[in-house]
A = this chain, B = another copy of it.
Amino acid sequence: MRMTVCRKGHFNAAHRLHNPALSDQENEALFGKCNYPHYHGHNYDLIVKVTGEVDPKTGYVIDMKVLSDLIEKLVVEDFDHKNLNLDVEEFKTLIPSAEHIAYVIWHRLKPHLPETFELLIVLYETPRNFVEYAGN
């Protein structure tokens, strides 16, 4: 019995899209109002999807409390009410687009899950814009 269990989380953060290898004009042309220098922000909604075998002893793939604590400790504590560009290590060298944020979250969580588990990250930057990353 192989199944996917999904847990939602969220964090509120400031960010700005800016590629330091490009000129200010190129940045503004590429990123528009997302490049605005004083930062703007979002309520990010996160869905973490973990696929594995159901343990017959518990009826669980993974205890939701365990999954929820991993999300809290490895993502929310570091990202929530922060400035992603200035305060999160990975975004010192990576533009904090929704794509890259999903990538960073995947790489933070994966080593803490059993190796046979698959992991998919869904990240909503706004209710109308979101990304999905499966580690490919």
Binding site for B on A (CB under 8 A): 1-10, 12-15, 17, 19, 21-22, 30-34, 36, 38-43, 49, 54, 57-61, 64-65, 80-83, 86-87, 94-100, 102-103, 126-133, 136
Contact = CB atoms under 8 A, between A and B. Distances in A.
Rank and list the top 8 A-B pairs by shortest CB-CB distance, nearest first. A41-B41, A59-B97, A38-B83, A59-B95, A33-B81, A14-B14, A4-B132, A8-B128
A130 B50 CA distance: 11
Oligomer copy total: 6
Nearest to A17: B59
29 contacts: A1-B99, A3-B99, A3-B132, A3-B136, A4-B131, A5-B129, A5-B130, A6-B129, A6-B132, A8-B128, A8-B129, A9-B128, A12-B42, A14-B14, A14-B38, A14-B41, A17-B58, A33-B80, A38-B86, A38-B87, A39-B39, A40-B81, A41-B43, A42-B43, A49-B132, A59-B96, A59-B99, A59-B100, A61-B131
Instruction: Tell me the dominant secondary structure on chain A's binding face.
Output: mixed
A20 to B, nearest CB: 12
A114 B58 CA distance: 33
